[in-house]
C-alpha cells in the first residue's frame, strides 16, 4: 500500500476521534496567549540542524490550502493536517508524508507552547520521540511539521469502538516504547518534564512503535539543589499527579504517575475518566488501585479481551509496576529508567513456566529515617542493577 493510500485510510478514523477529544478537557486555560507577532525569541531556532524553516506558502501547497478533507485531528494547539513533501515543494527535500500542526490563534495554546515544542524537539532525537521535520513562523502564523505516524494515537486504538483490541504483546511493547521516551527526557543533560503524558499524545508508527508527541506543556526540570519546579497547574484530568494538582510542584515523578495511569489503561482497556460507568468506576485509578496489589483480585481488572494472551506472572508484574507508579507519595514511585528495566522482560512471549526463568525487578516500599522525618522510596530488588537506558541524542 502506498504512503498516500495509508494517509487516506487514517483520515476517517482520526475524524471519528474529534468528538471524543472535545471531552478530554485540560486544566485551567492552559496558556497565556503570548503575542506571536514578536519573533525575537525565535532567533535561535536556526541553530538546530535538520529542522527546516518552511514558508507558509509551502505548507499551504502540501495541505491544499488546509483543506477540510486533509484534517487528521485536533488538539489544544490547533488542527493537524496531512501533507506530503518532496522536491516539488523545495529542491532537495526527501519525499516524505508529514503531519502539519497549525496553531489556532483563538485556542488554548499559543506562541509560547509553539516555541517550547520547537526548542525541545529541535534539540532531542530518540526513537521514541516524534521527529520534528520543520516549522513555520510568518507574521502571526505558527506551524509545526512532524514525521507522519501512520497508525495515529494510542487513544484511538484503545478506546475507539470500531478498533480491533490491541493484543497483550503489542500493549506491552507500546508501554516500553513510551517509557523509553520519558526516560530519555528525564535523563537528558538538562532534564525535561513532559507534563502531559496521556494516550492521545502517544503516537504509533506502522509497526506500532510508540513515540511521544505534543511537547507544548513540557518544562525544563529543576537544577542544582532545587527539588521541583513550581508552575501553574496544567495537564489533563485523570492523568495529572495528585501532588502536582494540589501544590503546583512539578517533578519527574509527576510524569511517572501519569505513566502509571496510561499503563493501567493498557492493562484494563478502560479510560482514565469514564462518566458512562457507575459512579464507583468513574475514576480508573480509584477503581483499580485497591486490586492492583491483591493477587487474588488483580486479574479481575485485566481487559477480558486479552484472555489467553498473557501469563499470570507477567500480569502480576505489570500490575505491580502500575501500583508503584501510582503511589500517592512521589518518592515511592520508581524512576523511568527502572520502569524500562521492569518492562523489558515482559516483551517475551511464553507460558508461566518459561517466564519463571526471566528475572523481573520488583519495587518495594522502604523506610528511610532522616532526623525526625520518615521518608518512603521505591527501590528495585537489590539483586538487579539498573539497566542503561538509551540516551537522547542532543544536537
**Active site amino acids:** 196
Detail the DSSP E strand segments found in 278-344.
none
Q: If we measure between CA atoms, which residue out of 143, 126, 221, 219 comes closest to residue 177? A: 126
Q: Residue 319, exposed/middle/buried by CB under 10 A (0-12, 13-18, 19+)?
A: buried
> What is the distance of C-alpha 188 from the center of its chain?
17
Q: Give the Cα separation of 157 and 38 in Å (integer).
A: 40
Q: Give the Cα separation of 239 and 154 in Å (integer).
A: 15
Hey, what's the cell of 136?
A: 513555520
Q: Give the Cα separation of 245 and 222 in Å (integer).
A: 18
C-beta of residue 72 within 8 angstroms of C-beta of residue 153:
no
Residue 275 among known ligand-binding residues: no
Distances (CA, A) of 66 to 82, 89, 90, 102: 9, 15, 18, 9
Q: Give the Cα separation of 123 and 66 in Å (integer).
A: 28
Q: If we measure between CA atoms, which residue out of 198, 286, 274 comes closest to residue 240? A: 198
Task: Specify the 3-state DSSP secondary structure of 228.
Answer: coil
Residue positions in the annotated binding site?
101
Residue positions in the annotated binding site for ATP?
101
Amino acid at each position: 500500500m502506498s504512503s498516500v493510500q495509508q494517509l487516506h485510510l487514517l483520515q476517517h478514523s482520526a475524524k471519528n476521534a474529534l468528538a471524543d477529544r472535545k471531552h478530554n478537557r485540560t486544566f485551567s486555560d492552559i496558556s497565556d496567549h503570548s503575542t506571536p507577532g514578536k519573533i525575537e525569541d525565535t532567533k535561535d531556532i536556526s541553530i538546530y540542524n535538520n529542522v527546516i524553516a518552511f514558508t507558509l506558502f509551502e505548507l499551504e501547497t502540501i495541505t491544499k490550502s488546509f483543506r477540510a478533507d486533509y484534517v487528521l485531528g485536533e488538539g489544544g494547539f490547533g488542527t493537524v493536517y496531512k501533507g506530503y513533501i518532496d522536491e516539488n515543494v523545495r529542491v532537495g527535500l526527501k519525499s516524505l508524508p508529514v503531519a502539519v500542526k497549525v496553531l489556532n490563534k483563538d485556542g488554548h495554546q499559543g506562541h509560547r507552547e509553539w516555541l517550547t515544542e520547537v526548542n525541545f524537539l529541535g534539540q532531542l532525537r530518540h526513537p521514541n520521540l516524534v521527529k520534528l521535520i520543520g516549522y513555520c513562523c510568518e507574521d502571526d502564523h505558527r506551524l509545526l511539521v512532524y514525521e507522519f505516524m501512520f497508525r495515529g494515537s494510542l487513544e484511538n486504538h484503545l478506546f475507539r469502538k470500531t478498533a480491533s483490541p490491541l493484543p497483550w504483546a503489542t500493549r506491552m511493547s507500546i508501554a516500553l516504547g513510551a517509557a523509553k521516551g520519558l526516560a530519555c527526557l528525564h535523563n537528558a543533560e538538562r532534564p525535561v518534564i513532559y507534563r502531559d503524558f496521556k494516550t492521545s499524545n502517544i503516537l504509533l508508527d506502522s509497526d506500532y512503535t510508540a513515540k511521544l508527541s505534543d511537547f507544548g506543556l513540557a518544562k525544563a526540570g529543576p537544577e542544582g539543589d532545587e527539588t521541583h519546579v513550581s508552575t501553574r497547574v496544567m495537564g489533563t484530568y485523570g492523568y495529572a499527579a495528585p501532588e502536582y494538582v494540589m501544590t503546583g510542584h512539578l517533578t519527574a515523578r509527576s510524569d511517572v504517575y501519569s505513566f502509571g495511569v496510561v499503563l493501567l489503561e493498557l492493562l484494563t482497556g478502560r479510560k482514565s475518566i469514564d462518566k458512562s460507568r457507575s459512579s464507583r468506576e468513574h475514576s480508573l485509578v480509584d477503581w483499580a488501585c485497591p486490586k492492583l496489589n491483591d493477587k487474588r483480585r488483580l486479574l479481575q481488572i485485566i481487559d477480558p479481551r486479552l484472555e489467553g494472551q498473557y501469563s499470570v506472572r507477567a500480569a502480576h508484574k505489570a500490575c505491580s509496576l502500575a501500583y508503584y507508579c501510582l503511589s500517592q507519595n512521589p518518592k515511592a514511585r520508581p524512576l523511568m529508567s527502572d520502569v524500562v528495566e521492569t518492562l523489558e522482560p515482559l516483551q517475551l512471549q511464553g507460558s508461566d513456566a518459561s517466564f519463571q526463568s526471566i528475572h523481573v525487578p520488583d519495587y518495594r516500599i522502604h523506610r528511610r529515617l532522616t532526623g525526625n522525618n520518615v521518608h518512603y522510596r521505591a527501590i528495585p530488588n537489590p539483586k538487579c542493577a539498573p539497566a542503561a537506558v538509551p540516551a537522547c541524542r542532543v544536537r
